[in-house]
């Protein structure tokens, strides 16, 4: 018996299981075309090292990114020229910019999501806020709630510095809240900007160029709740089973530190290989927890956070997926870059657009610092 036959109730919603009821997104105004990024970056940082420039040019081609939105602009660099200077303590300036920017984008994405949801904003009972781009007390969850005009009794949860797995981690937390609080409606918001880690190129930090070529800014939002109200709410996905797993002794593979110069990230070369070596066992564990004993991967849809083309390529090869299975992830990567925790929202939106390729059941996956694997077995409710 195959997976689609094993999991009965094709488009029926299981009572009590959390569902994604709406999606929303927002971006800063600055759109960067990948073909112009290299010249602009080296001009803005007053660097003329031909070897570094050639290396970044190669990376920009291999990332498969075509466009990205960023908060950084010439106006910001004119106001804060020290951001482009090596070794200066600029964390205060960066946080001033980032804290305001991520709040603005999170509010805009949430408003878009709530409008699509169709219910009053006063019906939101909980907020889960995710970001690796700010640091302050009170946190961005409060400023988001205030900016939206939420009831002061709205319950808030904040996830900081979960990196690329933050969006799916937040979705897992929102699922638990929705399923354990009958009638609740959870707003999940993610918001990220690369200004917190913007630096001039350096021969001592060649790995920084990967981030320059790959990462983008933006925000995402979802409304999650159980037992959708018929004729009012239009559920998109049912969240069936969620798991998290970290790989022991891999803490330094994705290494980030908050310093006086902002956040410094270092990604080790073996990251794609480590994910490839462990992805099959993780997916099998997630599927088996739901009572499924077979492994018909190509009968599932795959909403995978696009950490980079190497990760997607290795996952596709390891699981013997047909090329169309990761099309939404590749499209999100091309259009928005790796926007950290936000990107899974963009992937899910593209999956809904590409209805010809989406099946009944699938996996939502992301990989972040730890190395941490996040996965949710999910049912498509739109077909």
Q: How many helices (H) and strands (E) does the chain have?
A: 12, 13
Mean pLDDT of the chain: 93
pLDDT higher than 90, residue 10: no
Looking at the chain, the whole-number percentage of residues with pLDDT higher than 90 is: 86
What integer pLDDT is reported at residue 3 of this predicted model? Answer: 45
Out of 13-17, 235-239, 326-330, 371-375, least confident range: 13-17
Backbone angles phi, psi at 178, to 5 degrees: -65, -40
What integer pLDDT is reported at residue 354 of this predicted model? Answer: 84
b/e code 32-55 from CB counts within 10 Å (16+ = b): bebeebbeebbebbeeeeeebbeb
What integer pLDDT is reported at residue 292 of this predicted model? Answer: 65
What integer pLDDT is reported at residue 34 of this predicted model? Answer: 96
pLDDT higher than 80, residue 9: no
What integer pLDDT is reported at residue 6 of this predicted model? Answer: 47
Note if the pTM is more than 0.75: yes
Instruction: Give me 293's structure tokens.
Output: 């004993």
Mean pLDDT of 35-61: 94
Instruction: Give me 200's structure tokens.
Output: 């001039």
Catalytic site includes residue 98: no
Measured CA to CA in angstroms, residue 14 lies from 7, 225, 331 at distances of 11, 12, 31
Q: What's the pLDDT tens digit per position in 90-130?
A: 999 999 999 999 999 999 999 999 999 999 999 999 999 99
- The active-site residue out of 60, 113, 164, 283 is 164
């Amino acid at each position: 018996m195959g997976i689609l036959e094993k999991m009965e109730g094709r488009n029926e919603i299981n009572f009590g299981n959390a569902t994604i009821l709406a999606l929303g997104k927002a971006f800063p105004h600055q759109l960067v075309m990948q073909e112009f990024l290299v010249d602009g970056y080296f001009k803005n940082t007053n660097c003329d090292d031909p070897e570094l420039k050639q290396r970044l040019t190669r990376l920009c081609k291999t990332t498969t990114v075509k466009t990205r939105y960023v908060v950084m602009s010439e106006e910001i660099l004119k106001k804060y020229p020290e951001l482009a200077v090596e070794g200066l303590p600029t964390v205060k300036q960066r946080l001033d910019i980032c804290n305001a920017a991520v709040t603005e984008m999170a509010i805009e994405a949430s408003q878009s999501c709530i409008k699509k949801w169709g219910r009053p904003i006063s019906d939101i009972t909980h907020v889960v806020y995710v970001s690796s781009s700010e640091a302050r007390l009170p946190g961005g969850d409060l400023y988001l709630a205030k900016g939206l005009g939420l009831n002061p009794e709205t319950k808030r949860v904040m996830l900081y510095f979960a990196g690329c797995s933050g969006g799916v981690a937040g979705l897992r937390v929102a699922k638990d809240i929705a399923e354990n609080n009958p009638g609740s409606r959870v707003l999940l918001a993610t918001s990220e900007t690369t200004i917190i880690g913007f630096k001039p190129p350096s021969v001592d930090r060649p790995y920084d160029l990967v981030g320059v070529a790959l990462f983008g800014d933006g925000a995402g939002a979802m409304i999650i709740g159980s037992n959708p109200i018929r004729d009012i709410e239009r559920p998109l996905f049912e969240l069936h089973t969620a798991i998290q797993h970290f790989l022991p002794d891999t803490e330094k593979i994705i290494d980030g530190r908050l310093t006086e110069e902002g956040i410094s990230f270092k990604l080790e070369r073996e990251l794609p290989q480590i994910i490839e070596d462990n992805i099959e066992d993780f997916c099998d564990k997630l599927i088996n927890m739901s009572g499924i004993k077979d492994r018909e991967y190509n009968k599932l849809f795959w909403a995978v956070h696009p950490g980079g083309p190497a990760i997607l390529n290795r996952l596709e090869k390891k699981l013997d997926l047909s090329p169309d299975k990761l099309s939404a992830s590749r499209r999100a990567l091309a259009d928005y870059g790796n926007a950290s925790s936000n990107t899974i929202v963009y992937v899910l939106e593209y999956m809904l657009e590409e209805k010809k390729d989406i099946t009944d059941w699938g996996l939502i996956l992301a990989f972040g610092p730890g190395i941490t694997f996040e996965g949710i077995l999910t049912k498509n409710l739109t077909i």
